[in-house]
Structure formats: C-alpha cells, structure tokens
Structure 1
Amino acid sequence: MAQSALFTPLQVGSTTIQNRIVMAALTRNRSSASIPNDLMREYYLQRAKGGAGLIVTEGILVSRQGSEWQNASGIWNQPQIDGWKKIVDAVHGAGSKIYAQRSDFSQLAHVGRAAHPQAPEQIKAGVPVYAPSAIPARGGKFRFIEGQPGYVTPIEIPDPAYFINLFKQAAMNAKEAGFDGVELHAANGYLLNQFLDSSSNKRTDKWGGSPANRCRFVLELLKAMQEVWSENVAIKISPAVGYNDMGMPLEETIETFGYLLTEADKLGLAYVVLARYTELLDPEYDGKRNATPHDVLSTYAPFLKANNTPIFINVGVTPSEAECLLSTGKVAAVQWGMLWLTHPDLARRLREGKPLDNLLDGLHIYGAEGVDDRIGYTDYEEARY
C-alpha cells in the first residue's frame, strides 16, 4: 500500500518537490579524475526515474585540496561544471529536483583534517592538510595509500575567510550547472563539523572557544551561500555521530548545536537535515566510542520552531516510521541513503508496496581496482512490474 504522507508535495526553498522521499548524499567515487561522467549520469537518472522527490548529490568537493578520496567529484573548474550540468539536466528531464551536496541539491564539502598528504588529489593540490586547529584525528584508513598510515597533524587554517570564499565560488559553480540549490555538509567529522566540535577546534580567536565562536564559520558559510542561492540553501548536521573522531559531552553538544540551529533558523533555510545516531558512524578509538547518542529530533526540533525551518530526518528510518513522522508533522521529509543505493526505484516500490529486498554489495560501494565501475553502482535490480 502507498505511504500516503510520503507522496504529498513539499515546498523546498523556491521549488516544489513531488514527494517527501529524498535521496541523501552518498559518496560513490565514480568520477573521472574528479569530473562527473556518463556513468554518474546513469546512476542519478536511474533514481530520478525511480521517483525521488529530491536528490542530494554525493559530497561535491569545493577544491582539490579538500579531497579525501580518489575519483571523488569536484566543482572547482569548468569541465566539472559541465559534467554536473549533464547530470542535472537528465534528472530534471525525469521530473525530479536536485541539490548539490553540493545534485538537484548539490552537497558542498571539504574534508579538512580527514585528508592525507599522500592522497593523489592532495599531492596534485600542492598544499598541506588544513583544519581549524593543529590536532590530528585518531584512526583513518586510506584504501589507496600503502600501509594505512592514518591521519596526520594538520596545519591550522590561518584565515577561515579563505575557505568561505572557496565555498561561495563552488555555490556559484553549482548554480551555473543548473542545480536547484545547495546543501552544506556540516556532518560526519569533516571541515565544518571540525569547527563546531571543541575537541577539534582549540582556536583562541573569533573562530573558536565559545559555542558562538565555534559556530561562526558555519553560519558565515550559510550567509555566503545565500548571497548566491537565497532561500535555496540547506544544511546537514550530525550531533550524535562520532565519525572521524568527533564528539563532545552531551551538555556541550546540545549547547553548541542548539545555538547553531537557533541562528540558522533566522536565515530562512530550505531545510535542515538531522542525522541520527548509528554505531556505523561511531567507531571505537582506544577501545571507546566517541559519540554521545541522543534523540536528535526531539532534542533539536525546538530550536527550529521560531521560523518553522523544515526538518529532514536521516539514518535508519523505516518506511512505516517515516509515514508516522510525516503524518504527525514532526518532519517535513525523509532522507534515505542506503535504500536508494540498493533500490534505484525506491519511491515506486514504496508507492506500490513492492519489497525492499535488494542486498547491499558492500565490496563495491566505492568501486574497486580493476572492477567494472557499474558493479554495485548501476546494476541493482528494479522491481518487476
């Protein structure tokens, strides 16, 4: 049976999406030397045809220096813009919308201290690994670097305004590519999250110290994005996630993210994504987990009530739970990641009551040396009709 609340239209910024079934950003590492290609176009088009109301692209890197992975896509030069435009046009042709996380919203990202000086793209960039403070993250695995060397001590960013300008240029490039908006990636231990977290941000200037100062970088980025995109700017946060060595005590976590959302709510954003806790994103360091598990929806929704910023929920949501959250007005939409990865026709399956029975090809999520890039990417079976 169709999930009725899932299939109602929603105003997102200046655009209307056909349903509340959103595809979350999923890193897949299938670009050609950071340039989006025809295989990526097929991947996104499959999911647009499968009924996604809104597609958020994989994290699109705002600079070569901000890359952690080989074959991750960027948006800092014209060939990349042109490659994304082909994807955006295909998604629009199939009736879906796309944000860039930079696609139909694009998701914009920079990994900060999660990069490595021996990573191929970092070598090409010819600059050090930068972060808010000179504090290395624990752990770190790089599939393409021999010996799994782990993270290094980064160089403290001299002037964060430089990175704000990088993101603003990326937002302008995303607009040229035809996206409907941008989602700022402030989650999972990457650069923006590193500014927010007191364990990775020990600055003593206006960009560190108090919650207000640690939130300054992200809030200034949102304002810079809005200079380009107006109301078509969103943000994703993960207050309960310990990935990439993040984590603060609960009281400090709520104080920090509560301040961030109170101020973000005043800006008139398209939406805010709240990523829930999962052990998959809370690895152990020295035998202990870093994150502070708590209910992000009930904790942070009150901070977004003054101007009713739409809330999207992400991580581990079942279809029946999504229906309940939507029908009671607790969220405006649901972002799914892995279900869209394994079911390119996810929305059609939900509408028609088809089973979600494709198994994840965990060996080829990010591709593999010498293996056809379509495997685990565009070869998932669609339901028989």
Structure 2
Amino acid sequence: MSPETASLFQPLELGNITIRNRVGMSALTRNRAPGTVPNDIMDEYYVQRAVGGAGLIVTEGILITRQGTEWPHAPGIWNSEQVSAWKKITNDVHTAGSHIYAQLWHVGRVSHPDAPEQKLAGVPVYAPSAISARGGKFRHLPGLPGYVTPTAVDDPWTIIKQFKEAAANAKEAGFDGVELHGANGYLITQFLDSNSNKRTDQWGGSVENRSRFGLEVLKALIEVFGKNVAVKLSPAGGYNDVGMPLQETLDTFSYFITEADKLNLAYITLVRYSALTDVEFEGKKRATIHDIVESYRHLIKNAKVFVNAGVTPEEGAKLISDGKADAISIGFSWITHPDLVKRVQHGKPLNNIPDIPHLQWGKSEKDLRVGYTDYPEAEY
C-alpha cells in the first residue's frame, strides 16, 4: 500500500455500522432490470465489487414508484418481488464483506407519459410546478421526444409517504441504510431550485419553504432507518436543467445542508461540479460553477462527508488527510474495475477500457453481462 493512499484504508463509522475503508461506490444507473425487478446478473455485479473491496456500496437509483424515466429498465422497490430480489443481493454483499445502502429515487419532471412504466403507473408526471425541463433523451420512445410539462403535485405529503414506504421495503430487503437522491435535477432538487419550483404554498418561495420537501423526506426516512440515512447533493446543478444564480445557490444549499446535518444523518455526499454533467442552452452552460467542498463542507458538523465526482484515489486520500472529507465516492472507475480497491492497495493501474456501447444495456436481454460484469480483475 502506498503512503499516499494510506488514509483511504482506515475504517469509518457510519450511523451504527463501521465500513472497512473509505472508498465508496457511488450510485451508477446501469439499466439491467427489465420489468423493474433486480436479477442474478445484478447480484453478480454488486458482489464482484464487494469482493473487490468497496467500503460502502450505494446501489443504482431505485425508483420508489413506477416512473417513465429516460433510464429504462431501472429497478424499483415498491413490491414484494422486488424486495425479495434485493434481499438476495444484500445478503450476498454482506457475505462478501461489504455494506450496502439503497439509493431512493424519484425523477419528478424528467419522466415521460409515453414511457411504458409511466403508462403502467396510471398517473401523470409529477413535479413541484408545471414547468418542463429543457432537453431530455428518451431513446426508447419513438421520435426521441424531450421532456414534457409536468403536473404540479397537489399534496407533496403523498410522495413523502411513498419515500417512507420505500425505506420500509429497503429495510425488509436487508439494506444497511438508505441514501436520498437529492442530486442531478431529480425531484428533491426540483423542489430546492427556484426555477423549477414556483409554488406559493408552504413548499415554495423562500429558501426555507423550498427546502421543506427534502427535509421532510429525510425525517420520514429516519423514522424507518434511524441514524442510517444519507443524502446526496449536487449544488452546482446543470444536469436536467437546474441551477440558480450563485448567491441564491449558496443561500439555498447552505440552509438545506445545515438543517439536514441537524438530523443526525450517517453522511452527506457533496458532488463537485463536473463538466460531463453540465448542459448548454442558447450558448450558455447551465451549471453554477463553484467550489462545492469549500462552500459547504464547513457547515457539516455531525454527518460524515463523502466527496464525489472525478475524485481519484490519490486526491481522495489527500482530501481525507486534510480534513476536507471523511471518505470518497467513486463512480465511473467502479464500472470498469470490479476490484478497484484491491488495485489501489496493490499499486495496480486502473486501466480497463470502458465498453461504451454497452454501459447502459448489454448486447441483448439474454446477454446483459456484456459491459457490466465482464471486466477483468488485475493479476495479483
């Protein structure tokens, strides 16, 4: 083990569990669950990465209800068949020596009424306000349509209840905790962002009101999981057409993070600005570029802090040594290196070549392993 990365390999207490190292695997949507039910190929995928040394695995986004997301074949957690399938995965991950959180996901306005799952749901596309996002790539629908104008949710408490029910299912499925997906322009962010939330009731307007929905969801999750609740945030915005002026961004996320930290969360993941998830409209980038760690880390007094987005093991070790993070969350490199932590420990390069055409789907429904579980380990 290199002295430069030694800080990554200390155990870390999260809620009421202790993870074996400080290298987490972030949520990575992989579209391998036809019919929304996890399967044996997904089990193989997660177990590979548990064996490969992940301290904490966060699942791909798990839909709390049927939604016509632009990511087809995403898994859900609203029925007993899904719970049973996830339970096999959590058991196997635990046997392999790792811990696993379920990332709970509601995409809000970036869904589509013509998508198969939205049709099966029999409900409109819901969002804080009837304001559509620009962009969208629903490749599985004819004509490559973009986002549509959503229906403003009448009573946000109904969705908060759905989050709580999903958490109860996640607990039954054996997850160690849950991470609320509050990043990337999905429903939590849509309530936080003043461009997507124009409500005039208790759920919109002021910073406090726009923060209310996400905070109430976290409280509902805590009622189920206690200390083992986390949230992922991407204050820079950009992706899925969110982002506010800098001062409004700082005011909004500073308040939200401060209040969330009072809830005794296990951790808060701060997602740094990434050009890969920024979008451009009318010649302008959408994100509000600022230093996420410098702007918000000092506000977090109770939860552990994960830093995500483009973090290398070497940089992550320095962030931890400097007190700017307690752990790091790596995404893309975990896709291509099931043994990522082992490689870092043994000084092996992260040199597998990504199978770009098959990242989100295999060669066919009968061959989902391609680009998913067929990346080789290093020789040790």
TM-score normalised by the chain length of structure 1: 0.96
Of 175, 184, 192, the match for 2:180: 184
SS in 2 for 1:182: strand
1:318 & 1:32 partners in 2: Cα distance?
A: 32
Verify: 1:363 aligned to 2:363, yes or no.
Answer: no
**Residues 62-114 of structure 1 deviation map (CA, whole Å, 9 limit, x = unaligned):** 001364432100000000000000000000000000000xxxxxx00000000
Give me the whole-angstrom Cα distance separating, in 2, the residues matched to 1:358 and 1:293.
Answer: 31
1:376 is matched by which residue type in structure 2? Answer: G
Deviation digits for residues 346-381 of structure 1 (CA, Å, limit 9, x no counterpart): 000010000110111111111056362111100111
Cα distance in 1 for residues equivalent to 2:232 and 2:70:
19
1:244 counterpart residue number: 240
Q: Equivalences for 1:74-113 in 2 at 5 Å?
A: 74-100=76-102, 107-113=103-109
The equivalent residue for 2:279 is 283
Name the counterpart of 1:40: 42
Which one of 356, 372, 375 corresponds to residue 377 of structure 1?
372
| Structure 1 residues 216-240: Cα deviation after superposition (integer angstroms, max 9, x where no partner) | 0000000000000010000000001
State the TM-score, normalizing by the size of structure 2. 0.98
* Structure 1 counterpart of 2:136: 140
Structure 1 residue 279: Cα displacement: 1.1
Gaps of 5+ in 1: 101-106
Count of matched residue pairs:
377
Root mean square deviation of aligned Cα? 1.0
Q: Which amino acid aligns with 1:379?
A: D
Matched, 1:23 2:18: no
Is this contact kept in 1: 2:68–2:112, CA < 8 A? no
Aligned with residue 230 of structure 1, among 213, 226, 229: 226
Are 1:128 and 2:155 matched, yes or no? no
C-alpha contact 2:68 2:113 (8 A) present in aligned 1 = no
Contact kept in structure 2, 1:61 and 1:67, CA below 8 Å: no
SS of the residue 2:163 aligns to: helix
What one-letter code is carried by the residue in structure 1 that aligns with 2:290? H
Q: Report the secondary structure of 1:87's partner residue.
A: helix
Matches of 1:360 and 1:215, distance apart in 2: 38
Give the fraction of aligned pairs with identical amino acids, expressed as a percent: 61
The residue number in structure 2 matching 1:103 is: none
Q: For residue 289 of structure 2, give the secondary structure of its aligned residue in structure 1.
A: coil
Residues 243-266 of structure 1: per-residue CA shift (max 9 Å, x gap): 000010000000000000110111
For 1:104, the equivalent position in structure 2 comes to none
Deviations 1:34-82 (A, max 9, x none): 0000000000000000000100000000001364432100000000000
Distance 2:308 2:176 in 1: 20
**Contact 2:138–2:146, Cα closer than 8 Å, also in 1:** yes
Task: Give 2:265's match in structure 1, choosing from 264, 269, 286.
Answer: 269
Residue 301 (structure 1) shift: 1.0
Over residues 114-139 of structure 1, what are the superposed CA-to-partner deviations in whole Å (9 max), with x where a residue is unaligned?
Answer: 00011110011111111000000001
Q: Deviation per CA, 1:302-341, whole angstroms, max 9, x where unpaired?
A: 2113xx3211000011121111111122101000000111
Residue 297 of structure 1, aligned match among 282, 293, 301? 293
Counterpart residue identity of residue 369, structure 2: R
For 2:113 and 2:286, locate their aligned partners in 1 and report how far apart those are by CA, in whole Å: 25
**1:174 maps onto 2:170 in alignment:** yes
The one-letter amino acid of 2:375's match is Y
